[in-house]
Amino acid sequence: MSRTPLDTVEHAAATPDVELPWAELGLKKDEYERVVEILGRRPTGAELAMYSVMWSEHCSYKSSKVHLRQFGEKAPESDALLVGIGENAGVVDVGQGYAVTFKVESHNHPSYVEPYQGAATGVGGIVRDIIAMGARPVAVVDPLRFGAADHPDTKRVLPGVVAGIGGYGNCLGLPNIGGEVVFDACYQGNPLVNAGAIGVMRHEDIHLAKASGAGNQVILYGARTGGDGIGGASILASETFDDAKPSKRPAVQVGDPFQEKLLIECTLEAFREKLVVGIQDLGAAGLSCATSELASNGSGGMRVTLDDVPLRDSTLSPEEILMSESQERMCAVVEPEKVERFLQICEKWDVIATVIGEVTDGDRLEIFWHGGKIVDVDPRTVAHDGPVYERPYARPSWQDELQADDANKLPRPATSEELKDQVLKLVASPNQASKKWITQQYDHFVQGNTVLAQPEDSGMIRVDEETGLGVAIATDGNGRYAKLDPYTGAQLALAEAYRNVATTGAKPLAVSDCLNFGSPEDPAVMWQFAEAVRGLADGCLQLGTPVTGGNVSLYNQTGEAAIHPTPVVAVLGVIDDVARRTPVAFQEEGQLLYLLGDTREEFGGSAWSQVIHDHLGGMPPAVDLERERLLAEILISASRDGMIDSAHDLSDGGLIQAVVESALLGDKGARLVVPDGLDAFTFLLSESAGRALVAVPRSEEVRFNDMCGARGLPATRIGVVDGDSVEVQGEFALPLATLREAHEGTIPSLLA
Amino acid sequence: MTARIGVVTFPGSLDDRDTQRAIRLAGAEPVALWHKDKDLRQVDAVVLPGGFSYGDYLRAGAISRFSPVMDTVIEQAKAGLPVLGICNGFQVLTEAHLLPGAMLGNDHLHFICRDQKLRVENAETAWTGDYRRGQEIHIPLKNMDGRYVADPYTLDKLEAEGRVVFRYVDFNPNGSLNDIAGVTNEAGNVVGLMPHPEHAVEPLIGSGRTDGLPFFTSILKKLVNA
């Protein structure tokens, strides 16, 4: 793209007829014309680079914006929210002067192209978002979706993704405490690699991405800028994979977790000394994004000398420098008298830091190269005034037929023997099987504050050693449910994550989401998206948990085939004392098992329908958010008052899945009795929402029952923790050893 | 009186603050040491913590071994200063030749994080006095390059002299020779091991056991009684 003479603003004004490669950079014709209109002339190459990356789907949310507004419009009253949507990550008050920031993002497309680096840099990016808020990152979680477990390409993608997440996160010293791994053929060419992170800070330490105060210096620090990830944002994330196009491998960035670890420590030290006015991480769209967002969120303009950017490759053109997505870089705005100290801290940590510009009085973002002005724009037009599309959407023609194909009518096991075989097949199926082979590649212990980690219902981190204050996080999302009904599917994802936080004893406070969908240019996909957002916004309003931020990933499709709509929801909770947390594992023989909630015949989208019948149809389980709220209150009270010793949410795979997991983790069996009014099949395998399994010490039974009775939550005694098998009276018994072999053998046999 | 135990922070050290916490919980005073600083601040013992110093981009521990602080650590360890190397710290100690052998990549080529069963083989080092010989304990393990190797002569010598301090039990997580999880020097003041005792010091946190606390109480007793 390098042209001679230098394409300065002056040159652009003098040469209106020069054709620029706007289409190659991903801009549509009308978008390019809008840029020309804004500037009153043709853009320079550098300006075009900036607009093209910042107006890409990935950065501008141009297709999703009109729907995402509901998260603000329907936001519930919450005094917990300190910083809402729009900043690098939302911030939630968790009490005792602490604030927690958390967010989930996608790194789907890069992870398919280059699994290790794609996933690694996904972790790196989300962690920088957390640091940029002023917080110390304390944990990561990784919701993942892959193609069929036995597909050959899964064996390429999954181990690479897992090694990348581990390789980066482990080296950063962040415990990996949660997430999910789901297999489904619909993700074959489009794995979903979502990465979430949590950070903790004191209220007074919150930092924002804005550049204010004329004369303040703009410091770029961290890694040198190289040629990696150029155009990643606009090209990789915003177009569907298509076999006809050339390989896009060079657009994936390469991560250096060691550099990021230094960046974390040096940034936190600078925060401690109150040296930073505003800060922004360099992620998608690199310097284009950091400079335009810092400038447009502040009160003034900004002048940047691009020649001062430390380069890894001296042949880079200014356009490439502006677009580069080289990892492990941050941009800080620092008052002139504090610059020296800031640079000293960077030197202490061996981090390269360079003043590249300053905040100005005006309202322009001006960028210079070799003495010539190559960018002169209103930064707001780059960062915030991107195109907004009202994409057409319509309920797909096949939706009725899909919902009419009722899973409740599928043939059910006719004998106890058949039921037993199906149960064993289910707990061994890739989605229900133990993911230990994957999660043991992640460090869960580092930092010494991990109270709970996967396979617990939520990950839990101690925040304060003295008081025991802790936070919990769970992520969930069931694409099969969402395919059957996106509105309900999104609410089920929310309900499950909310419930998972509550089963561990924490109070759900706030939500982040990662919305993974197909192409927005397909009205059917757009309808799925609109419905899911509406469902999630309505659900958050009802549960009183505001959405604090999130991420949208579109174009997850290969050719005509889109992935299942997959809204992944993360719920953050707080627990006053982590000593009261409730684990999944059965603790003591003789404890009584109670099933909380109502069980109905609900098999649409169920694990049973998938594993036994390879079927997807009917309606997903009904959602009752008031019931979810009541169940959560009971679980939290019971945990706080010591009435339950273990608890497990019921979701995919139903009751039997939960019993088997609790039994295997505690190495203690269970004897179950099918309650009156239910058949064994429905009892064991229905996926009705709003339910949990709890183990109650005998001494607490009366008190626990009284509480559930007084508050109107159905609680059914279904058995006892006992023996070394899982026995369903009158039906079958499965020894723990058999269950363990089935449950833990699957993933290693497919992937190791 | 108590003892001052230094914890070195190298660039990329991860468990330095965890180790300081473990020292504090044991009743000693943790002292932060910086890799660029030769001064050991008059500590009575030193811990080299776990992590990925310098990213482990070269051989694990190979660069840290040349940090200014290590010049002093090596000199004083030879004069009897108690030194414990955990995971990456163990790797640094072998690179510094304070302990024999070397660490290779895990035989299965994956990072592994698990609650690991160990047998205490030597309860007479500076760091293991509060254990019993033959005692079985659970300590979290997490590493990429944890496969302990040494030449046959060295292995025989270590075994003959009782210098294997910990051995993996039931499952060898990385392919270490003779199931070796930790070793000591001839004098017994320098100990290195791959598992992380600092992650097993509080009943609620991490593995939920406190099997690692005796490392820190052992050294404290030794120093206070000295």
Burial class (CB in 10 A: 0-12, 13-18, 19+), A372: middle
Which residue among the candidates A67, A107, A109, A564 is catalytic per the annotation?
A107
Nearest to A672 by CA among A685, A655, A691, A687: A655
Closest CA–CA distance from residue A263 to any residue of chain B (Å): 11
B198 assigned to active site: yes
Contact B196 A445 (CB under 8 A): yes
Average pLDDT over residues B75-81: 98
The answer to whether residue B56 scores a pLDDT higher than 70 is: yes
Share of chain A above pLDDT 70, in %: 96
Q: What would you measure as the largest C-alpha separation in chain A, in angstroms?
A: 88
Q: What sign results for the dihedral spanned by CA atoms A13, A19, A21, A22?
A: positive
**Band of pLDDT at residue A210, cut at 50, 70 and 90:** confident
Task: For residue range A432-450, list pLDDT tens digits in order.
Answer: 999 999 999 999 999 999 9
Contact A261 B12 (CB under 8 A): yes
At A3 the three-state DSSP class reads coil
The helix/strand count (H/E) of chain B reads as 5, 11
Using DSSP's 3-state secondary structure scheme, residue B137 falls into strand
Please give the Cα distance from B131 to A9 (Å, whole number): 74
Residue A724 has pLDDT above 90, yes or no: yes
Q: DSSP E strands: which ranges in A493-565? A: 507-516, 547-553, 557-558, 561-562
Give the mean model confidence (pLDDT) for residues A565-580.
Answer: 97
Q: Please compute the mean of the pLDDT values over residues B92-108 and round it to a whole number.
A: 97
DSSP code string of A216-227: PEEEEEESPB-S
Q: How far apart are CA A101 and CA A85, in angstroms?
A: 12
- Which of A446, A447, A467, A587 best probes binding to B when mutated, by most B CB atoms within 10 angstroms? A446
pLDDT at A249: 35
> Is residue A242 predicted with pLDDT exceeding 90?
no
Read off the pLDDT band of B1 (50, 70, 90). low
H or E element at residue A158: helix A152-172
Is the pLDDT confidence value at A237 over 90? no
Q: Which residues of A touch B22 (CB under 8 A)?
A: 448
Nearest to A252 by CA among A384, A170, A161, A177: A161
Supply the pLDDT for residue A315: 86
Answer yes or no: CATH 3.40.50.880 is held by domain B4-224: yes
What are residue A470's DSSP bridge partners? Answer: A462, A575
Say yes or no for a CB contact (<8 Å) between A166 and B111: yes
Q: Evaluate the omega torsion of the peptide bond into residue A455 and state whether it is cis, within 30 degrees of 0.
A: yes
Other residues' Cβ atoms within 10 Å of the Cβ of residue A733: 15
Distance from CA of B209 to the nearest CA of A (A): 12
For the question of residue A615 being annotated catalytic, the response is no
Distance CA B84, CA B197 (A): 11
Closest CA to A70 of A464, A513, A557, A472: A513
Are the beta carbons of B113 and A349 separated by less than 8 Å? Answer: no
Q: Given B14, B113, B140, which is nearest A173 (Cβ)?
A: B14
| CB-based contact A192:A553 (threshold 8 Å) | yes
Distance of CA B113 to the CA centre of its chain: 17
| Residue whose entry in the numeric block shows the structure tokens 């509901």 | A70
C-alpha distance from A594 to closest chain B C-alpha (Å): 25
> Quick one: pLDDT at residue A616?
98
State the DSSP string of A57-76: HHHH-TTTHHHHHHHHHTPP
**Chain A residues touching B54 at Cβ < 8 A:** 258
The nearest CA of chain B is from the CA of A70 a distance in Å of 39
Confidence bin at A81 (pLDDT 50/70/90): confident
Pairwise CB contact (< 8 Å): A170 & B142:
yes
- Indicate whether A175 pLDDT > 90: yes
**DSSP letters spanning A436-499:** HHHHTTS--STTS-EEE-TTSSSEEEE--TTT--EEEEEEE--HHHHHH-HHHHHHHHHHHHHH
d(CA B72, CA A550): 49
- Average pLDDT over every residue of A137-164: 96
Each residue of A295-313: pLDDT tens digit? 888 888 999 999 999 999 8
* Alpha-helix residue ranges (DSSP H) falling in A545-624: 607-613
The pLDDT assigned to B28 comes to 97
Q: Determine which of A265, A443, A467, A587 to mutate to test the interface with B (most B C-beta atoms within 10 Å).
A: A443
Of B108, B112, B199, the CB nearest to A448: B199
Q: Is B87 a catalytic residue?
A: yes
Sign of CA dihedral A488, A491, A497, A502: negative
Range of weakest confidence among A1-5, A284-288, A502-506, A683-687: A1-5
Active-site residue, from B35, B95, B138, B198: B198
Distance CA B4, CA A672 (A): 56
ipTM value greater than 0.90? yes
Distance from CA of B110 to the nearest CA of A (A): 7
- pLDDT tens, position by position, B165-201: 999 999 999 999 999 999 999 999 999 999 999 999 9
Q: Quick: pLDDT tens for A15-37.
A: 999 888 888 888 999 999 999 99
- Phi/psi region, residue A699 (left: phi>0; alpha: psi -120 to 50; beta: rest), is alpha
CB contact under 8 A, B111 and A258: no
Which comes out higher in pLDDT, residue A239 or A673? A673
Distance between CA atoms of A277 and A287, rounded to whole angstroms? 18
Instruction: Sort out which chain B residues have CB atoms less than 8 A from A350's CB and list them.
Output: 11
Closest-approach residue (CA) in chain B for A449: B205
CB-CB under 8 Å, A170 with B111 = yes
**Predicted local confidence at residue A250, as pLDDT:** 55
Size of interface A-B (CB pairs under 8 A): 91
Contact B205 A163 (CB under 8 A): no
Q: At B164, list the tokens.
A: 């294997």
Instruction: Kindly tell me the burial class for residue A321, based on how many C-beta atoms sit within 10 Å of its own C-beta (0-12, 13-18, 19 or more).
Output: buried
String of DSSP letters for A373-411? EEEEE-HHHHHT------------TTHHHHHHS-GGGSP
Answer whether B17 sits within 8 Å of A350, measured CB to CB: no
Give how far Cα A586 sits from Cα of A302, A506, A595, A659, B204, Å.
59, 19, 14, 9, 16
**pLDDT given at position A559:** 84
Of B87, B95, B121, B199, which residue is the catalytic one?
Answer: B87
With CA atoms as reference, the chain B residue closest to A175 would be: B206
Residues A210 and A384: their CA atoms lie apart, in Å, by 14
Q: DSSP secondary-structure letter at B109?
A: -
Mean per-residue pLDDT over chain A, rounded: 93
B27-46 mean pLDDT? 97
CA–CA gap between residue B52 and residue A168 (Å, rounded):
11
Beta strands in A629-688 (DSSP E): 646-649, 670-672
Q: What predicted TM-score, i.e. pTM, was given to this entire model?
A: 0.95
Answer whether A258's CB lies under 8 Å from A167's CB: no
Please identify which of the residues B35, B95, B121, B196 carries the catalytic annotation. B196
Instruction: Mark residue A747 as left, alpha or beta (left: phi above 0; alpha: psi -120 to 50; beta: remaining).
Output: alpha
Which DSSP symbol is given to A267? H
Cα-Cα-Cα-Cα torsion A71, A74, A76, A79, nearest 10 degrees, comes to 60
Tokens of A408: 């409740």
Which secondary structure element, helix H or strand E, spans residue A726, and what is its range? Answer: strand A725-728
How high is the pLDDT of residue A251?
A: 64
Rounded Cα gap, residues A180 and A170, in angstroms: 18
Q: Which residues are CB-contacts of B1 (< 8 A; sequence separation ≥ 6)?
A: B224
* Omega within 30 of 0 (cis) for the link into A5: yes
| Pair A504, A568: CB distance under 8 Å | no
DSSP, collapsed to helix, strand or coil, labels residue A176 as strand
- Beta carbons of B113 and A440 less than 8 Å apart: yes
Chain B residue numbers with beta carbons less than 8 Å from the beta carbon of A752 are 108
Nearest to B142 among A445, A578, A581 (CB): A445
CB contact under 8 A, B111 and A443: yes
* Residue A215 binned pLDDT confidence (cut-offs 50, 70, 90): very high
